[in-house]
Structures are given as structure tokens and as C-alpha cells.
Chain A
Amino acid sequence: MQNIISIKHLFKTFNNMPILKDINLDIAQGERIIITGPSGSGKSTLLRCLNLLETPTEGDIYFMGQNILDPHCDIHKVRQKMCMVFQQFNLFLNFSVIDNITLAPIKLLAKDPTQARYEARGLLERFGLLNKAEYYPAQLSGGQKQRVAILRALAMSPKVMLFDEPTSALDPFMKNEVQNLINVLGHENMTMIIITHDIDFAKNIATRIFSIENHQLIPVQ
């Protein structure tokens, strides 16, 4: 099976300080990759390099056979297929929940607004948030915000989802809500790369677990 993501000899430095050294990783369709490690080890940097929120210093990243570091590559199209969920949710504060979810499909995928709202309401209903559709992010709890952030990414029908410590800002109850949602996605064969410190969650969902130590990616048995 062709790898959906291939990372070849990835290096990243900030002000001549190495953050990532010679990272190599192949990810197949449907895999759930957990990346763990101490704070400041470069986990988020690796994830941000995958969708070019950070530009690697050296190396290649292939997504569906295309080198995303190639200047001719349309990175916006790549990002539409590789959506990211952030630790701090980053919901659009000036849009309601349903507008947060439908904004990108309408503007980028040229979906009919009525169809996009219908599909968004379906997602919200499926994950118990339909009554929050017209609420603004400021009115939601942390767990609700993170679930809306995941649904916002899901609405783009991505091939890969990147999770940057999705539950670290949440209390245990809200953490369960979000982890249950991610579990559902995992069972639906979504390719995911998740940064987390929660080992129990990682064991439940992961196909492979890695740790970043000394700026390198080490597989964990």
C-alpha cells in the first residue's frame, strides 16, 4: 500500500539550534500515529512541518506522492487534505459554531451553502452538539470547543488529521468527550497523527507510538 505521508531526512533548526534531526517516517492510509515526548522536544514542530506552518531546514515531505516542499506544489490544496486541530482550539471567534464548520467548505470546496449547513448540522447532531449550532465559541466549554474544532476539520473531508495535544487544555471529563470523538474517527479508518501525553489514550487508539528524544524519532514498543 502506498504511504500517504513520507518524511525523509527532515531537519529543523531555530537560530542554529537543532530541534529535529534526521526524522524519517512512513505513514500508511488508516494508521493512527501517536507522538509523545517531553515538553520542548519538538513534537509540535514536527506536526507543524507536515502542513508547513513551519518550514523545514532540510529534508523532504511527501503527501500522496507529492513533495510538498517543492515550490510548484500548491500548499493550500495540500492543507485542505491535511487538516490540523490545535491545543488551544483556535475556533474563529467572529463566527458561530455552524459558520465555523461551513466556512471552509463553502469558500474553498465551493459547496452549496445550504448543502454545507445540512452536512454541518448532521455532524453536530452525530456528536451531540446540534443545540450549540448558533452559539459563538465564547459560549462553549473547552470540550465543546475542541469537538467543534475537530468537526471543522472533518467538514473538509481530509485524508489526514493532525492533532496537536488536543486534550491537554481540558479537564478529565472534557478530555473523555474529545477522546471518544477521536476514537470514533479512528474506527472509521481516518489517518491521524496525534501528539499526546496521555499514555492510556495512546494505547487505546494507536497503531504505532513514537517518542522524540534527543531531537530524533524513536519507535516505542
Chain B
Amino acid sequence: MESFLEHLYSSFIVEQRYMLILHGLFNTLIVTLGALVFGFVLGTLTALIRSSHHFSKRFRILNICATCFVYILRGTPVLVQLLIMKNVIFAHLKCHSILIGIFAFGLNSSAYVAEIIRSGILGVDIGQYEAGISLGFSSAQTLKLIVIPQAIKNSLPFNQRIQLLVKRDCNPRQYSHNGSNTCCRSYNVAHIFTFGLFCCSCNLPNYRVYCFFIFKQISKETAKSTFRGLKLCKT
């Protein structure tokens, strides 16, 4: 039986195996950031189309397309979408697998982000919209100046999408590029169960903890306009 220190040595030091984890971590972060940006932009656009139709009954065709987009992407497993991207859509294109991952995860995330942002917009009291309209603002101006700034506060929970993007990085194996979890599978099985997975599951550094504290601070800042927030914030 190997001792703990021998496990440590053979898991990380021999053949510079720690580089594999670091490489996987780097790829994970790249895919996460790329998917986050792409998903946020596309999701916001989708949410705005659907919300505009809700308030002003315009963009009917676009709304139908956006609705189908959201329901199809939310209704199919991300693994299926990833396989379709890799083996069908990008099969004949010489595209780096990182880009495929960004596109696939971003597309999937955009559907969820769209629903989160749309629910944030619709969560704003209808009286806010009517007050803007009654002063003479157009529907677009009212959404831009009054509704969406308030909806952003309601939509802050989308930080959970960031954490999910990181956790799901185990799927990159399907498009054959190493994420941080996949790297563990490169090890000897004995090492995986004794040490490798244990270290990766600790998520060094722990992104979820960082995300939690970052968004808690953002929530505190944006809550300054609410009465409850004023008690928490020392203004």
C-alpha cells in the first residue's frame, strides 16, 4: 500500500502531471468565459425580443422564433447539443474544439439566460411600464430607462449559470479537449480514486466560492434603492 505522500508524489510530481490539471483548468476557464459572454449576449437579445412582444405586441415572427429557440435548447440535453455541434454542424469545418465548446455551451446557456432575464423583466411591476408610457415615453424608451435597470436586479441569480458552466466542463471529453475534470481521467485509475478526483472536486481555486462573494457584493450595491437594502448597507 502506498503511503499518502507516495500517492501525492506519483499523482502530481511524476512526469509533471500537475501540468495536466493546470492545463485543464485553463481550458475550463476559457470555455466558461467564452460561453458566458456568448450566452449572455444571445440570451439578452432573445429576452428583449420576447419581452418587447409581451409589452407592445410587436416582433411577432421574431417572438415565435425566439420562443422555439428557447424551448428546443432547454428541452434537449447539453450533451446531445455538444455531439450535434461537433459531429454534424462543425464536422467538416476545421474548427478548434475550444471554439466548438464555447459555441455549444454558449448556445445552451443563452436559452436559460434568456428565461432568467425575461422573468426579471416581467417581474418588474407593470405599473412602472404604465407610468413611463403615460408620461409620453415610447415602449422602447420605457423598457430601456425604467424596466430593464430594475430587471437587472431581479436577474442577478444568473450567476448560477456561471457555476453550472464550470461544473459541466466534464463534457469536453466528448469533443476531445481536456477540461479540468477530464484531466483526471488521464491518470491511472488507482490514482483517480485515491487522489486525482479528490483534488479536482475541491475546485482549486474554488470558483463557486468566488462567484458567491462577487455576486453577494453586487447584490448589496444594487439593493441600495430598496428599503431592505438600506438597512443592510451602511449609507
Q: Does B77 contact A (CB under 8 A)?
A: no
A187 sits at the interface (CB 8 A): no
A93/B225 contact (C-beta < 8 A), A86-B130, A103-B145 known: yes
Given A88-B127, A92-B128, A93-B150, CB of A136 within 8 Å of CB of B225 = yes
**CB-defined A-B contacts under 8 Å, sample of 7:** A53-B133, A91-B131, A93-B128, A94-B146, A94-B149, A94-B150, A156-B135
Residues on A with C-beta less than 8 A from B226 are 93, 136, 138
Q: Tell whether, in the assembled complex, residue B150 and residue A104 are in contact, meaning their CB atoms are under 8 Å apart.
A: no
Complex contacts, B150 vs chain A, CB 8 Å: 93-94
Residues 189-214 of A contacting B (Cβ, < 8 Å): none
Asked if residues A53 and B134 are in contact (CB atoms below 8 Å), the reply is: yes
Does B137 sit at the interface, judged by CB under 8 A? yes
* A9 on interface, CB distance cutoff 8 Å: no
CB-CB under 8 A from A72, the residues of chain B are: none
CB distance from A156 to the nearest CB of B (A): 6
Q: Are A108 and B136 neighbours in the complex by a CB distance under 8 Å?
A: yes
- Binding stretch for chain B, among A26-34, A59-67, A77-85, A110-118: A77-85
Given contacts A107-B137, A108-B137, A156-B136, whether A92 and B131 have CB atoms under 8 Å apart is: yes
A80 B227 Cβ-Cβ under 8 A = no
Q: Which of B127, B224, B225 has the most CB of A within 10 A?
A: B225
A51 CB contacts on chain B under 8 angstroms:
134
Q: Is A57 an interface residue (CB 8 A)?
A: no
Q: Is B22 an interface residue (CB 8 A)?
A: no
Residue in A86, A91, A138, A152 whose CB lies within 8 Å of B227:
A138
Interface positions of B (Cβ within 8 A of A): 125, 127-128, 130-138, 141, 145-146, 149-150, 224-227, 230
Decide: A86 near B127, CB < 8 A? Known: A94-B149, A139-B230. yes
Please name all residues of chain A whose beta carbon is closer than 8 Å to the beta carbon of B225 when the two chains form the complex: 93-94, 136, 138
Contact assessment for A108 and B135 in the assembled complex, using a CB-CB cutoff below 8 Å = yes
Q: Would you call the interface of chain B mostly helix, strand, loop, or mixed?
A: helix
Listed in ascending order, the chain A residues whose CB lies under 8 Å from chain B are: 51, 53, 76-77, 79-80, 83-84, 86, 88, 90-94, 103-104, 107-108, 136, 138-139, 149, 152-153, 156
Q: Which of B134, B141, B146, B230 contacts A83 (CB 8 A)?
A: B134
A27 smallest CB distance to B (angstroms): 18
Q: How far is the CA of A156 from the CA of B136 in the complex (A)?
A: 9
A107–B127 CB distance below 8 A: no
A94 CA / B131 CA spacing, docked (Å): 13
Cα separation A108 to B134 with both chains bound (whole Å): 12
* Shortest Cβ gap from A71 to chain B (Å): 15
State whether A138 and B230 are in contact (beta carbons under 8 Å apart), knowing that A103-B145, A107-B141 are contacts in the complex: yes
Residues of B within 8 A of A76 (CB): 136-138
Which residues does chain B contribute within 8 Å of A83, judged by CB atoms?
A: 134-136
Is A77 in contact with B136, judged by CB distance below 8 angstroms?
yes
A156 to B137, CA, bound (A): 12
Complex CA gap A29/B134 in Å reads 20
Query: B127 near A79 (CB under 8 angstroms)?
Result: no
Q: Which residue of B lies closest to A149 (CB)?
A: B131
Which residue in chain B gives the minimum CB-CB distance to A76? B136
A83 to B132, CA, bound (A): 10
B222 CB to nearest A CB, Å: 9
Residue of A whose beta carbon sits closest to that of B132: A92
Residues of chain B within 8 A (CB-CB) of A86 are 127, 130-131, 134
Taking the closest CB of chain A, its distance from the CB of B182, in whole angstroms, is 44
User: In the assembly, what is the distance between CA of A155 and CA of B128, in Å?
Assistant: 18
Contacts of B125 in A (CB 8 A): 90
Q: Are A79 and B230 in contact (CB under 8 A)?
A: no
Residues of A within 8 A of B141 (CB): 107
- A103, B137: Cα distance in complex, Å: 10
**A94-B146, A138-B225 are known contacts. Are A79 and B130 too (CB-CB below 8 A)?**
no
10 nearest A-B residue pairs (beta carbon): A80-B136, A90-B131, A90-B127, A138-B227, A84-B134, A79-B136, A104-B135, A94-B149, A136-B225, A76-B136
Most buried by A among B133, B134, B226: B134
